[in-house]
Amino acid sequence: MPELPEVETVRTGLAPVMEGQKIASTDVNRPDLRWPFPDRMADRLTGAIVLALRRRSKYILADMDTGETLLIHLGMSGRMLISGHTVGDFHHAHPAPAKHDHVVLHLGQGARITFNDPRRFGAMDLMPTAGADDHWLMRDLGPEPFSNAFNEPYLVERLNGRNTPIKSALLDQRIVAGLGNIYVCEVLHRAGIHPARKAGRISATRVAGLVPLVRQVLQEAIAAGGSSLRDYRQADGALGYFQHGFAVYDREGQPCQHAGCPSVIERIVQSGRSSFFCPTCQR
């Protein structure tokens, strides 16, 4: 599932095409994805002007002049693809309709935004912009990793006394929003913390040190266009390439990249998810 860097990369790609543009028409080609689409979604989107695109956790939010916000969740395999628009020196012509093109936004200047989702774990919803933070998918989310609210004292307080593994704690969207399996593995490797260590038994100094590392890893991933492992593509169809710089994720059996470390990367399963780590560098 796309994590914060992938969603932010998609949002950044969509923004110059969508912001300030009118949605001339909307094709909704099925009644649902992971959940049913909202009532009259095509009618409510058609004619609206997109004022701004923003991100909250792993959701893209399109604020419109109608007073509503379109929520987009990419799910496991969702893609937001741009066509009919020139990006740099390249013009992306409209492709032939594809089997899994579930929602298509035809913009006034001729561009097309297609939500393609083969596995149909993605979602779209409409909500009042003024109450977007109270939407059931977002009301319990923790602070954004790049926000002032996500700071060292906050994380120390939230993890104090917790008996859950640190990996699970950092994946808890109520503690920090947007982190997923890939980037938590990478953060914990940089911090030298074993993913199974109980969060409440890690010193306050080491917990505080996670805050800048979270931001560092996410910033590097965003700069690389995210990580393309299976289905993820940027809005222009390009692959991300942060996966080429993974230190531990998906590297089971390969040598640890720390100088002088004799170990190979190991994998354990925590709550149904693979955790990758170095048994020597992470304790």
Are the beta carbons of 51 and 63 closer than 8 angstroms?
yes
Q: How far apart are CA 73 and CA 222, in angstroms?
A: 18
φ, ψ (nearest 5 deg) of residue 42: -60, -45
Residue 255 tokens, joined: 């040598």
Residue 281 tokens, joined: 């560098």
Q: How far apart are CA 160 and CA 118, in angstroms?
A: 41
Catalogue the active-site residues. 2-3, 58, 273
Query: Which residues 6+ apart lie within 8 Å of 210 measured at CB?
Result: 155, 170, 187, 191, 193
The amino acid sitting at 265 is I
3-state helix, strand, coil split of the chain in percent (to 5) is: 30, 25, 45
**Under DSSP, is residue 186 helix (H, G, I), strand (E, B) or coil?**
helix
The amino acid sitting at 219 is Q
Q: How far apart are CA 191 and CA 209, in angstroms?
A: 7
Nearest to 221 by CA among 273, 277, 261, 178: 178
Query: Which residues 6+ apart lie within 8 Å of 42 measured at CB?
Result: 26, 27, 28
